[in-house]
Amino acid sequence: MRYSKDVKIPIGPQHPALKEPESFLISLRGEKITAASVRLGYNHRGIEKACEERTYIQDLYLIERICGICSHSHSTCFVQAVEEIAGIEIPARARYVRTLIGELERIHSHLLWLGVAGHEIGFDTLLMYTWRDREIVMDILASTTGNRVNYGINTIGGVRRDINPQQNQQILEAVGILEDRTKYYISLATSESTLINRLSGVGLLSMEDAKQLGAVGPVARASGIARDVRKDDPYAAYADLDFKVITDSHCDVYGRTLVRMGELMQSYSIIRQIIQKIPGGPITVKSPRKIPVGEAVSRYEAPRGEDMHYVRANGTEKPDRVKVRAPTLANIQAVSKMLEDRYLADLPIVIAAIDPCFSCTDRTIAVNMSDGNKNTLTWQSLRLQSLQWYRDRGVDFTELNKKVMERFSTK
């Protein structure tokens, strides 16, 4: 076999650097990367097709599970599109609660990214420290919404849970602690020599390239493009909150780190404003089951960039088409550009720098048969099947069902 100049190494789909399955075929000459091609689709579960077979409320449950880190972004984006079609005007308090949970999610997502970036360049202590601080935000999210991830706080026409004053107090305390932790990380990032060495000059993406390749979110803002959906196309309660759009001119991974930490500081001030300004009143509005004919495009500033949902309704209770375009899909084009003539050691940090979330990117789903005959699986038959499945394994739910039914009927 003629020893070709370039060694081709596959990175992924299972690779310690990548939290998720995507595969890059990298051709290497010595330590330099000469070409990189990306293969996605490992996470493709087909959520868009499944959305067409479920009602809007069931879709909400499914859309939230597109991505584990930005679940609130997807569910808010979807709900805003549906409310726009149905012409529902949600109460002001619900808009504020949605913005609050959105900012809390941005904090936990950026802290998570900081830890993963530290791990990618071998700085495990940073991973341990940032993830210890992240637990503070996770506890706040768990106490206010009931679950650490996949909060399920959105419903069509408003929010399902309210924030009581005692929780406000907890949130303010947590934000105080996290603020001086983030100040410590900012001073660390600007003074730690090995960190700066490993991050600066890596994954260069000039402003023109970023525009041409359609980069979004912190990746674009680190190349000097001041574009933030919260400012340009305000939704929820962002219209009456003031905050700065953080941009940076480093155009490399170091710039993205600074942009993300700047956004953390902005999130803290936004949350403080929300807690002060949150108006009273109801948190939800009655919404019809059948959404009238129409279509809507809704955009949301997810922690990774601009997340876009397109929903088309045909008057029934099921959407006609749901299109989800996740921020990672826009940033993935820029990765092969950033990888050109970089070192192999830079590959994990460059991929981590766009903070990829591939479970957002592949999401179409279709329902299929499990017992082989030709009709589609209805929800009811699925439930009966699961009861039967557990009965075969000696766990009989029918008595349990009877008891529950009796209690309901007596009440």
Nearer residue to another protein within complex by CB, 71 or 287 = 71
Angstrom CA distances, 332 to 97, 215, 393, stand at: 32, 8, 45
- Considering only 332, 335, 338, 339, the residue that binds another protein (CB under 8 A) is 332
In degrees rounded to 5, what are phi and psi of residue 304?
-95, -10
Q: Would you count residue 201 as binding another protein (CB under 8 A)?
A: no
Nearer residue to another protein within complex by CB, 247 or 283 = 247
Closest among 255, 252, 217, 259 to 357, alpha carbons compared = 217
Angstrom CA distances, 120 to 77, 199, 258, 342, stand at: 31, 11, 17, 16
| Range 208-227, binding another protein (CB under 8 A) | 211-214, 227
How far is residue 69's CA from residue 359's CA, in Å, rounded to a whole number?
10
| Range 249-288, binding another protein (CB under 8 A) | none
Cβ contact 99:237 at 8 Å: yes
Nearer residue to another protein within complex by CB, 212 or 401 = 212
Nearer residue to another protein within complex by CB, 134 or 274 = 134
Cβ contact 81:308 at 8 Å: no
- Considering only 265, 297, 317, 318, the residue that binds another protein (CB under 8 A) is 297
**Is the dihedral angle over the CA atoms 207, 211, 215, 217 positive or is it negative?**
positive
| Range 123-152, binding another protein (CB under 8 A) | 123-129, 131-132, 134-135, 138, 148-150
- Considering only 169, 190, 316, 376, the residue that binds another protein (CB under 8 A) is 376
Q: Would you count residue 114 as binding another protein (CB under 8 A)?
A: no
The strand pairing partners of 39, in sequence order, are 23
Closest among 43, 52, 42 to 366, alpha carbons compared = 52
Kindly determine how many residues on this chain lie close enough to bind another protein according to the rule CB under 8 A.
109
| Range 16-55, binding another protein (CB under 8 A) | 16-17, 19-21, 28, 31, 37-46, 48-50
Cβ contact 153:145 at 8 Å: yes
> Smallest distance, Å, CB 373 to another protein?
9
> Smallest distance, Å, CB 306 to another protein?
7
Q: Would you count residue 377 as binding another protein (CB under 8 A)?
A: yes
